[in-house]
Amino acid sequence: MIKRWLQVSGAEFWLPLPLVAMVFWLGSSLLTAQELQQSQPTAMKLQADTQLKAVVSVNILLINAVINRSQSMTQVKVETAESVLKRMELELPTTDPSQIEAAIANELQLSRQEVRQLVRYEIIE
């Protein structure tokens, strides 16, 4: 028997090989299609209507707030010592300094005391 195995010609080995490969390919395609048709329960759902809020820790040098009372708004410019983020600008719909400080503190993730030390006001009538 071992002698017979060693005497098998190359054609007897190579001829059925493409047939075996095709059967394997068709079988795996059918299994893949069947698996993809089944629904899978998801633990978490993707929410596309939410916005991400990036929190960046920066070294703030100065905060300039220009209060425009005629337009009832305040333009805030924040200057940093970072090379990536040199300047930030905010527009706030208020002219009250305490509300301005609270909004800046909330936006920059700082305490109101830190904002008071850094902010410089300019009032335009």
Is the pLDDT score of 113 beyond 80?
Answer: yes
Give pLDDT, residue 125.
81
Query: Per-residue b/e over 111-125, b at no fewer than 16 CB within 10 Å?
Result: eeebbeebbeeeeee
Which DSSP state fits 91? E
Phi, psi (degrees; rounded to nearest 5) at 118: -95, -25
> 62-97: per-residue pLDDT in tens?
899 999 989 999 999 998 887 677 888 889 999 898
Half-sphere exposure of residue 99: CA atoms within 13 angstroms, side-chain side: 10
Query: CB–CB of 100/76 below 8 Å?
Result: yes
Can you say how many angstroms the Cα of residue 84 is from the centroid of all Cα atoms in its chain?
Answer: 18
**pLDDT recorded at residue 51:** 66
Q: Please say if the pLDDT value at position 58 is more than 70.
A: no
C-alpha distances out from residue 86 to 48, 64, 121, Å = 30, 14, 20
Q: What ranges do the domains of the chain cover?
A: 2-37, 60-124
User: For 30-55, what is each residue's pLDDT tens digit?
Assistant: 999 988 888 777 666 666 666 666 55
Distance, first Cα to last Cα, the chain? 107
Structure-block tokens of residue 84:
């990536």
